[in-house]
Amino acid sequence: MADAERIPGFATLSIHAGAKPDPTTGARATPIYQTTSFVFDDVDHAASLFGLQAFGNIYTRIGNPTCAVLEERVAALEGGTAGLAIASGHAAQVVVMHALMMPGDEFIASKKLYGGSINQFNHSYKNFGWNVVWADPDDISTFEKAVTPKTKAIFIESLANPGGIVTDIEAIATVARKAGVPLIVDNTLATPYLCKPIDYGADIVVHSLTKFLGGHGNSIGGMIVDAGTFNWSRDRKYPMLCEPRPEYSGMVLHETFGNFAFAIACRVLGLRDLGPALSPFNAFLILTGIETLSLRMQRHCDNALAVAEWLSQRPEVAWVSYPGLANDKYSALARKYVPKGSGAVFTFGLKGGYDAGVKLVSNVKLFSHLANIGDTRSLIIHPASTTHRQLSDAQKVQAGAGPDVVRLSIGLEDRNDIVADLEQALTA
């Protein structure tokens, strides 16, 4: 890149951000630094690394050069100041909350979320004394009403799993700003190719890299992106960031690290003490996946729109919830937030209810019946009998996973083959 002023485009960043030829060997692909630990230059170097006076590698639980390329790449794609790679999407959520919440604190979450997140927030977080308050993304006033002096964050998904829901990020960011708390956006289903939440006021973006970013169904991973936008010291509500840290000789992370203090807190407090490090091998596979993100996401979206249109003409189908359909209730929000396409994950309802859903997932041949999304392969699941079965019936319906609902994650196969498989399974 001869002209240093030029900001590279998205596809270029997907391939190059964070990476350069290996200085020792000239290797062009990012090497897998499969090592637990890194030799210090001398005692002073070790002391400065441990005291956070110098950046560098110590131990792979806290950081690794392969993971560092992935961190820089996803941060560049999202427009954030820094990233932190984590073992899974769920671990990313725990590490974010660990930096923000003290026992007895509350956060507000959209009730239209991935079923696993609903479980994590409702049950596991209780052990830490972190209390979730649910709000309805279709009625922004429910977010405003949920704010209390104990609120420390708001959590939403951009495109919400199990699919077909577009969240009004900008409107909820306004609520967060008024409440003086950060907005966390799970951008797993959209990816930064379709939507960049930071452009609409998100302060923290989290990802399950397991899905479209990795893209090939071969590695679990997570990411935290710090937008660098939130003032952690203003109301002194975030002791991990604005109070002296005893383990770093009284250093105040927000004072020392400014607009990437949140990513640092997640690394040197969360990752260090909770321990969910991403393996360098998974980081390598996910980096390879990201190189083709823009090509894959566009094909995922184009295939998904064609399948959604086809399904909406079928006599067996009661409804299709895909924001890319012209008459969909989220189509205006989709035009604003995901103009290139509404993603590849969506739901539809079968007139035959629960039994028809079970029959359909049993009869598909090209589609795989499994609990994942964002693979090259087309995937199908009946949430009521699988991913969302732990939820109460009312929660199932609230989360868009009622008994008649089937969820698809449309892959990259030929469109005619995807449709032909659904046709034979619907009429079997």
Task: Tokens 């996946």: give the residue.
Answer: 289
CA angle 292, 336, 388 (to 5 degrees): 70
Q: How far apart are CA 212 and CA 418, in angstroms?
A: 18
Please report whether residue 188 would count as binding ligand PLP according to CB under 6 A. Answer: yes
Answer positive or negative: Cα dihedral of 322, 324, 329, 333.
Answer: positive
Answer positive or negative: Cα dihedral of 388, 307, 330, 197.
Answer: positive
As measured in angstroms, the least distance from the Cβ of 352 to ligand PLP is: 27
Please report whether residue 169 would count as binding ligand PLP according to CB under 6 A. Answer: no
**Binder to ligand PLP among 18, 83, 116, 349 (CB under 6 A)?**
116
**Binder to ligand PLP among 220, 253, 277, 406 (CB under 6 A)?**
220
Please report whether residue 163 would count as binding ligand PLP according to CB under 6 A. Answer: no
Please report whether residue 343 would count as binding ligand PLP according to CB under 6 A. Answer: no
As measured in angstroms, the least distance from the Cβ of 424 to ligand PLP is: 28
Please report whether residue 282 would count as binding ligand PLP according to CB under 6 A. Answer: no
**Binder to ligand PLP among 183, 189, 240, 266 (CB under 6 A)?**
189
Please report whether residue 167 would count as binding ligand PLP according to CB under 6 A. Answer: no
Please report whether residue 88 would count as binding ligand PLP according to CB under 6 A. Answer: yes
Work out the angle between the directed axes of helices 353-363 and 415-427 (0-180°, nearest 10).
Answer: 130
As measured in angstroms, the least distance from the Cβ of 84 to ligand PLP is: 14
**Binder to ligand PLP among 18, 80, 83, 89 (CB under 6 A)?**
89
**Binder to ligand PLP among 66, 131, 151, 208 (CB under 6 A)?**
208
**Binder to ligand PLP among 49, 98, 109, 114 (CB under 6 A)?**
114
Please report whether residue 117 would count as binding ligand PLP according to CB under 6 A. Answer: yes
Query: Other CB atoms closer than 10 Å to residue 224's CB: what's the count?
Result: 30
3-class SS letters over the chain: CCCCCCCCCHHHHHHHCCCCCCCCCCCCCCCCCCCCECCCCCHHHHHHHHCCCCCCCCECCCCCHHHHHHHHHHHHHHCCCEEEEECCHHHHHHHHHHHHCCCCCEEEEECCCCHHHHHHHHCHHHHHCCEEEEECCCCCHHHHHHCCCCEEEEEEECEECCCCEECCHHHHHHHHHHHCCCEEEECCCCHHHHCCHHHHCCCEEEEECCCCCCCCCCCCCEEEEECCCCCCCCCCCCHHHHCCEHHHCCECHHHHHHHHHHHHHHHHHHHHHHCCCCCHHHHHHHHHHHCCHHHHHHHHHHHHHHHHHHHHCCCCEEEEECCCCCCCCCHHHHHHHCCCCCCCEEEEEECCHHHHHHHHHHHCCCCEECCCCCCCCCEEECHHHCCCCCCCHHHHHHCCCCCCEEEEECCCCCHHHHHHHHHHHHHC
As measured in angstroms, the least distance from the Cβ of 161 to ligand PLP is: 4
As measured in angstroms, the least distance from the Cβ of 95 to ligand PLP is: 12
Q: How far apart are CA 370 and CA 345, in angstroms?
A: 14
Q: Which is nearer to ligand PLP, 162 or 341 (CB)?
A: 162
Please report whether residue 191 would count as binding ligand PLP according to CB under 6 A. Answer: no
Please report whether residue 111 would count as binding ligand PLP according to CB under 6 A. Answer: no
Please report whether residue 279 would count as binding ligand PLP according to CB under 6 A. Answer: no
The window from 23-31, 84-92, 171-179, 224-232 that contacts ligand PLP (CB under 6 A) reads 84-92
Please report whether residue 186 would count as binding ligand PLP according to CB under 6 A. Answer: yes
Q: Which is nearer to ligand PLP, 100 or 317 (CB)?
A: 100
Q: Which is nearer to ligand PLP, 151 or 208 (CB)?
A: 208
Please report whether residue 90 would count as binding ligand PLP according to CB under 6 A. Answer: yes
Please report whether residue 14 would count as binding ligand PLP according to CB under 6 A. Answer: no
Please report whether residue 157 would count as binding ligand PLP according to CB under 6 A. Answer: yes
The window from 64-72, 114-122, 129-137, 302-310 that contacts ligand PLP (CB under 6 A) reads 114-122
**Contacting residues for 236 by C-beta, under 8 A, at least 6 apart:** 242
Q: Which is nearer to ligand PLP, 381 or 422 (CB)?
A: 381
The window from 76-84, 113-121, 347-355, 392-400 that contacts ligand PLP (CB under 6 A) reads 113-121
Please report whether residue 161 would count as binding ligand PLP according to CB under 6 A. Answer: yes
Q: Which is nearer to ligand PLP, 210 or 425 (CB)?
A: 210
As measured in angstroms, the least distance from the Cβ of 314 to ligand PLP is: 26
Binding residues for ligand PLP, rule: CB under 6 A, are 88-90, 114, 116-117, 157, 161, 186, 188-189, 208, 210-211, 220, 222, 373
